[in-house]
Structure 1
Amino acid sequence: MHVERTVLHLQVARTLRSISQGIAVVDLTLYLKDLHWSAQAIGGVISAAGIFGAAMILLIGVLSDRIGRKPFLLIYECLIAVAALLVTFTANSIVLTAVIVIAGFGRGQNGAAGPFTPAEQAWMAALVPRASRGRVFSVNSALGFFGMALGSVIAGTTKWWSHALPGALSFRPLFFLMFLFSVACAVVISLTPKEERQHQPPAPAANQAQATVSETDAHAAERQIRQRENRNMLKLAAVNLLNGLAVGFFGPLISYWFAIKFGASTAQIGVTLAVSFVLTGFSSLITGELTRRFGMVKSVVFFQVLGVCMILILPLMPSFWLASVFYILRSALNRGTQGARSALSASLTRNQRRGFSVSMNSLVMRLTSALGPTLSGYILDIGELGLPFYLGGVLQLGSTLLYGRLFRDFDRSSQASNAKSG
């Protein structure tokens, strides 16, 4: 009962957080565009936010293993609340830059807690048995996508008051709404049951000699386990290096791309992203079920290869609505695997190193994805509107194939573990 209640609180918090992020992923870049920021300037500040978040993420992962997860999630919600309040009341470029960089404001993370994500994922993984993680993490991811969809719809409502608040001012009521969602999320986290820190009691020994032998064996076994865990973390880091580069090329500036290529309005972009998040949520639920039947790795590889095809076709579309269709398909196929990927990442180590494991791979992902927006912003400014998608698609295909190659044994070991427990 305690476990179920904690998981429920974490999922409610993710849903609230994702609504706020759905608003930001549509409106922030368009808000900066209305303030006459260039694509390169927007991409540059988003890249800086990624680098700052990467610098924070490893520290948070390690500390959350020692201190606990709950305090860090509370800090994150308070940070986002303050950031939203500042963006509501000022257009000062220095303040906006600081808010975006320090708080990661405006990054669409499907309800994840930014650089504090390792604490969130490690907390949930500690509560859910390994055999159920693919399904539970996929449901968690789906809730994030559904929340992002609702936020994207809300983001398109600026036209309702654009006469009273013209131009960039029309975005400010929505930024204040983000502040309210962040406060609500902080309340939910604060009411979450306290974590139960797990301590392994020493195994009893029949005599002193046996105790000495047991301790020596335990050290040797611990060394082997750590080496295996470290190898797995390095493998996933290699995969995420390519995946981070890929996502950084076309993810953060998609609203801006729709606006400059097709002249799409905020409402049109909001509808497109909302539909993409809804279908991605359903795709995540389907992926969660498929992981039980075919395995996490096979399911991820299958959907991501199809998603890469959509990425490569997308920039060839002659109209906004056709491009929207392929973007929606790409999102559903590719991003719908996020829960399964998170479940595998959280399953590479034991609980006492889980925050470190998740943070290491998030670090690599964030550092490499931080390069993409600056490069793609420059590419968009010189008029090459298709190149970011082609570069991202090729990199993501390489990442997907490498993922399947390096972790193909993970499905077999999971199936064997399920058979034993059954």
Structure 2
Amino acid sequence: MDRVTCSSSNQTSMISVQKALDEIGLSTFLSSPRDVYLIILQRAIRLLVYGQSAIVLTAFLKSLAFTDFQMGLFMTLTLLGDAVGSLILTIYADRLGRAKVLLGGSLLMTASGLVFASSQTYIVLLLAAMVGVITPSGNEIGPFRAVEESILAQLIDSDNRSTIFAWHFTLTLLALALGNLSGGWLTRALQHHLGWAAMTAYRAMFLLYSTAGLLNSALTMALSANVEIQRRSSGGEEDGLFEMGEAEEEVVEETKEKTTFSFSPETKKKVWLLSALFGVDNLSGGLVPVTIIVYFFTQKFHVDEGTLGNTFFTTSLVAAISNLIAGSLARRFGNVKTMAFTHLPSAILLALVPLPSNFQFARAILVAVFCTTKMDIAPRTAFLTSYVSAEERTAVMGIINVVKTVAQSLGPTFTGLLATHGKIWLSFVIAGVLQALYDLAMLYFFTRAVSVS
């Protein structure tokens, strides 16, 4: 009798575990094509070094005696330069070759990292950041995101996109968390244990950044031809990216001829509306990027890079885990409702961040912000990739991402002006209000949106 009871209990436990794994979509993720893993790995590597550089960037610029306004202008122009380059590359990515665009972006990462590791001239650093790939916010920049998300949407059927994107963002946000943690502590260790000067330690982080670009270049070349639009090998096998046969090359040429920059009237309407709404959301994000938050906490509470690294490790870790929950919610309530109702609480909390006079209390609010602030990413991406046709997807996502970048670029300069007048706290309040308006607008316009791809 005891054996029967024990066996029944074990079966119940196994069923519960399986349900939990199905709920977070683990089996779906594990059955994904190899290219999905390579794309996620590349983004994880990028966000790792993005997280590291975001922790030290403002300190690096401050060490070079740049003013608050110069730093704000630097971040704004960096994002604008990125927007122009990304617009060109993503619009024509399907013609040029998606993998080649990713390869070019990775090489630009390497180049810009080397410049930051060797130069101290404002204009040189600015040009390297604008032409190359340096993130002033700790978030994704460059042509990568639109191209990679278009690839993932092509490789995964629409029913499983929210799940795969949830895992995609969870794993890459974990990498960002590790970058935030390691960036602060590595900088601190190099100074306190090895006796390096602060500037030397900062430059070492940019050398790591440059190395990551080289590693991603190698990973890009390992992608199969399936990442390209309508590119399949005649035998159904995955070929190396630069090992196409004659039949496949003919398909590629046909694809290039068909892939032009033109949208249907319906798509144009969608692009205008989505660009406006995402622009508002990213303007708010540009007001308080990670680098600005780091600067605010440093100035107000006088905490060091190691402590801030711990803080942003916690926030990124919380944000990463929350993405798996978002995937489950999206399957139940739909992408748009999940986006709005998970993002709205963080918008309200963001406006409250500057209120506490105690560091621990302020940090607790910041962590609470990140509990839900990233939960809209996976359902938003799944919604966007399904809302436009497959043929227009890469260009649409590229344009929208550029609009988001431009909107985000306006924020740092405005926050820099507020900082010069001792009003940097106001940027948190404005950002929170803008994010709340964006969430409500998404609910109003897209609750009944229909998937087309």
TM-score by length of 1: 0.87
Q: What does residue 46 of structure 1 align with?
A: 75
Q: Does 1:9 align with 2:48?
A: no
- Please tell me whether residue 162 in structure 1 is matched to residue 197 in structure 2: no
Measure the CA separation in 2 of the matches of 1:90 and 1:76.
21
- Which region of structure 1 is more displaced relative to structure 2, 280-289 or 53-62? 53-62
| Stretch deviating more after TM superposition (274-283 or 324-333) | 324-333
What is the rounded CA distance, in whole Å, between the counterparts of 1:186 and 1:165 in structure 2? 30
Q: Retained in 2: the 8 A contact 1:60–1:118? A: no
Matched, 1:143 2:171: yes
The C-alpha deviation readout for 1:59-82, integer Å capped at 9, x for no partner, is: 222211223211111111110011
Instruction: For 2:198, give the aligned amino acid.
Output: G
Matches within 5 A, 1:115-264: 115-156=143-184, 157-162=186-191, 164-195=195-226, 196-198=228-230, 226-251=264-289, 252-264=291-303
Deviates more, 1:329-338 or 1:143-152: 329-338
CA displacement at 1:388 relative to structure 2:
0.3
Write the mapping of 1:25-40 to structure 2, written as runs, cut at 5 A: 25-40=54-69
Mapped to 1, the partners of 2:393 and 2:154 lie a distance apart of 9
User: Which letter maps to 1:292?
Assistant: R
Corresponding residue pairs, total: 389
Alignment-derived partner of residue 218 in structure 1:
none
| 1:297–1:404 contact (8 Å) kept in structure 2 | yes
Give the alignment of 1:302-341 within 5 angstroms: 302-341=341-380
Q: Write the letter of the residue equivalent to 1:226.
A: S
Instruction: Tell me the amino acid that sits aligned with residue 28 of structure 1.
Output: L
Distance, in Å, in 2 between the alignment partners of 1:101 and 1:56 is 9
Question: CA RMSD, aligned part only?
Answer: 2.1
Q: Are the aligned partners of 2:110 and 2:210 in contact in 1 as well (CA < 8 Å)?
A: yes
Q: CA deviation at 1:30?
A: 1.5
Name the SS of the counterpart of 1:147 in structure 2: helix
Does the CA contact (< 8 Å) of 2:51 and 2:183 recur in 1? yes
1:389 equivalenced with 2:428 (yes/no): yes
Matches within 5 A, 1:274-285: 274-285=313-324
Q: Aligned equivalents of 1:166 and 1:62: distance in 2? A: 43
Task: Describe the SS at the equivalent of 1:336.
Answer: coil
* Counterpart position of 2:105: 76
Offset at 1:98? Answer: 1.5
Which digits, 9 at most, give the CA deviation of each residue in 1:43-69, with x for residues without a partner? 111100111122222222221122321
Q: Indicate how the Cα distance of structure 1 residues 8 and 392 shifts in structure 2: closer, same or farther if over 3 A, else same.
A: same
1:399 aligns to 2:428 (yes or no)? no
Per-residue deviation, 1:315: 0.7
Query: Per-residue CA shift, 1:352-397, capped at 9, x if unaligned?
Result: 1111110121122111111110000110121013100111111111
- Runs of 5+ consecutive residues of structure 2 not aligned to the other structure: 1-29, 232-262
Partner of 2:392: 353
Does 2:326 match 1:287?
yes
In 1, Cα distance between equivalents of 2:131 and 2:363:
31
Higher-RCO chain (CA-CA 8 Å, sequence separation at least 6): 1
SS at match of 1:37: coil
For 2:155, give the aligned amino acid.
Answer: L
What whole-Å deviation, never above 9, does each CA across 1:316-345 have from its counterpart, x for those lacking one?
A: 011222212211221231123212212222
Cα pair 1:137 1:343 within 8 Å, conserved: yes
Distance in 1, matches of 2:352 and 2:229, equals 49
Q: Which runs of 5+ in 1 are unaligned?
A: 200-224
SS in 2 for 1:91: coil
Q: Is contact 1:53–1:114 with CA below 8 Å preserved after alignment?
A: yes
Q: Is the 8 A contact 1:45 1:101 kept in 2?
A: no
**Cα distance in 2 for residues equivalent to 1:280 and 1:3:** 23
Question: Does residue 377 of the first structure (1) align with residue 416 of the second (2)?
Answer: yes
**CA distance in structure 2 between the aligned counterparts of 1:145 and 1:255, rounded to whole angstroms:** 18
- Tell whether the 8 Å contact from 1:14 to 1:143 is kept in structure 2 after alignment: no
Partner residue in 1 for 2:122? 93
Structure 1 residue 180: deviation in Å? 1.9
Cα pair 1:65 1:353 within 8 Å, conserved: no
Q: Percent identity?
A: 24
State the alpha-carbon separation in 2 of the partners of residues 39 and 344 from structure 1: 38
State the one-letter code of the partner of 2:127: A
Give the secondary-structure state (helix, strand or coil) at the position aligned to 1:316.
coil
Find the aligned partners of 2:286 and 2:302 in 1 and give their Cα distance: 23
